[in-house]
Structures are given as C-alpha cells and as structure tokens.
A = this chain, B = another copy of it.
C-alpha cells in the first residue's frame, strides 16, 4: 500500500475531490498554505493499493496540472494607470507536487 500526498491549488481541489469520489478513492484534505505553490493550496492524502497509484496520479495530472490561463485586464481605476495592461494576459495556474510514501501497515477500525 502507498500513501499519496499531493499538494495542489485550492481552485483545483473540488474538481480533484469529485474525480476521486467518482472512482471510489478515499481522500483526506488538510488545510495548507504557501510553499510549493504560490496561491492558497490544499494537501490531499490518498491511501491506495500499489496498483492504484498510477490511476490516481493520472487523475491528479488531469485535474490539477499547471496550465496557462487568460486573465482579463483590471481597470486602472484608483490604481496606477502607467502599469495598466488593456488586454488579457496569460498567467500560470494549477500545478501539483506529489509524494508517494511507502505504507508499512494499514488499519481500519
């Protein structure tokens, strides 16, 4: 058995959670901040049999991988007009940092 510890962005956490539930994987979410990813993040712990590691990694990749996203310009109202960019810009969102840990023993009470 393995314990998959995945640090992902908050914005991807509900989608990942739904995807895991759909495939009957059980996950626990820990509130986490900073570090691996700039924005607010969430740490998932997912306990799986060895042959289920790859399917779970695929789900994490599909739902959380780093990608570009167009962000609408923000009006310079009350801000600095000199730095105003009047067209959408691409920013990187998402991303996942995943540790697969060996589990010596597993119990359910």
Contact A3 B5 (CB under 8 A): yes
How many chain copies does the complex carry? 3
Kindly state whether residue A57 has any CB partner on chain B within 8 Å. Answer: yes
Residues in chain B near residue A57, CB distance under 8 A? 107
Bound Cα distance A61, B43 (Å): 25
Interface SS of A by simple majority = strand
- The residue on B at minimum CB distance from A8 is B109
Give the distance to chain B from A33, nearest Cβ to Cβ, in Å.
5
Q: Contact partner of A97 among B33, B41, B47, B95, CB < 8 A? A: B47
Chain A residues engaging chain B, CB cutoff 8 angstroms: 1-3, 5, 7, 17, 26-36, 41, 43, 45, 47, 53, 57, 60-61, 64-66, 95-109
